[in-house]
Every structure is written in C-alpha cells, then in structure tokens.
Amino acid sequence: MTRVCLLGEAEHNLQYELLSRETAREALATYDLTRPFENAIALRTVSVGAAVSLLNDLDWYLTRFVDEALVQEPSVSDIEWLSRSLATQLRNGDVEPAETAEFCKIYGLERTDAADGDADDGDASDDAPAPAGGPTYRLVEPLYVRRTDGELPAYDLRDVDDTVVVRVTEAEFS
C-alpha cells in the first residue's frame, strides 16, 4: 500500500484545519488517519495513482495549510519518501522507480515530549492524540543532498535521533 504524509505548516494545526472543512473531511473520511510526526497526518492508499489523486483533490487545502506532501511507494522504496512532484511524475510514467534516487532531502527527526510543554507546533489548541504507545517526533531542518555511488551523505545540521529521506525532482533540488 502507498502511504501519504502531510506535513503541516508551523502556524496551523493541520488536523484541525483539514477536518474542520467539509470538503477535506469528506475526502479523508474513508482513510484511517495517523499522526507519525508532530503536526502531520498520514494515511494509506491503494496505489501511487490514488495518492496523487487524493493530493490533487486536497490541493486547495494543501496550498494553505501544508508545508509538504509526501508519498511512500513500496515499488520505489520501503523507507524513503517521494515528494508530491516526484510521485506525480512516477504516476504519469515520466520517470521510472530506479531513476528517482539521485536527488534527496534529508530531514532530521527529533524526539519531543508533548507532556513537558516544550514541543509546540505553533498552535496550543492541538488536542489531536499522539501516536499510541510511544514518543512523538518532529521533522527538523532539511538537508539537500545528492546520492553518489548509491550512498547518501550523513545528516550533519544538528544532532538528531534519526532521519527521514525524501526523494525529490531535480527542479526541487535546485
């Protein structure tokens, strides 16, 4: 199954903004929503085509409340994500899965503790449940890198718990 993850802009509570609007709420109603990162919403679709179609349906809301829309397609990678633009090119047949790996954006993944009050995504009214059974995480400072000889450079912008790799188009990389 293909995964979609919407990363909210810092000044908006993404879950509230999407689910408080009828059209977005109806578009998302058939999906089981999760919250993998602070101020993010994720869901599963049946294919990269369905993922891109959903993002197109939500475009008005994505423009206003979403910092980035990511797609994870198992035929490309089980651990790396695709930018919306790259997922669209893949769906349209403009690129092959093997051609998507060169240009990447690596986010640092930082653990937050919602109980201590230090983890604030910009909206104190965020009452969405944290992921069950564990800590919450936020994505920080993306590092743009180019894969050479099959290897990605290490994330070195700050100390982080882990990283999230997003494959991007050459235009997004520039």
The domain defined by 2-100 folds into: Alpha-Beta Plaits (3.30.70)
Helix, strand, coil proportions of the chain in percent (round to 5)? 30, 30, 40
7-to-11, 77, 96, 154 alpha-carbon distances in Å = 12, 20, 26, 23
Give per-residue pLDDT as tens, 46-82. Answer: 999 999 999 999 999 999 999 999 999 999 999 999 9
Give per-residue pLDDT as tens, 132-150. Answer: 556 789 999 999 999 999 8
Q: Ramachandran region of residue 2, left (φ > 0), alpha (ψ -120 to 50) or beta?
A: beta
Residue type present at position 67:
D
Give per-residue pLDDT as tens, 15-50. Answer: 999 999 999 999 999 999 999 999 999 999 999 999
User: Of the candidates 157, 163, 40, 146, which has an alpha carbon nearest to the alpha carbon of residue 106?
Assistant: 163
Look at residue 129 and tell me whether its pLDDT is greater than 60: no
Q: Taking a C-beta distance cutoff of 8 angstroms, is the pair 70, 82 a contact?
A: yes
Q: Where in the chain is the domain with CATH 3.30.70?
A: 2-100
Backbone phi, psi, residue 12, to 5°: -125, 145
Q: Return the pLDDT at 113.
A: 73
Residue type present at position 78:
D
With a pLDDT cut of 70, the percent of the chain lying above it is: 88
Q: Return the pLDDT at 121.
A: 42
User: Of the candidates 60, 143, 49, 128, which has an alpha carbon nearest to the alpha carbon of residue 92?
Assistant: 49
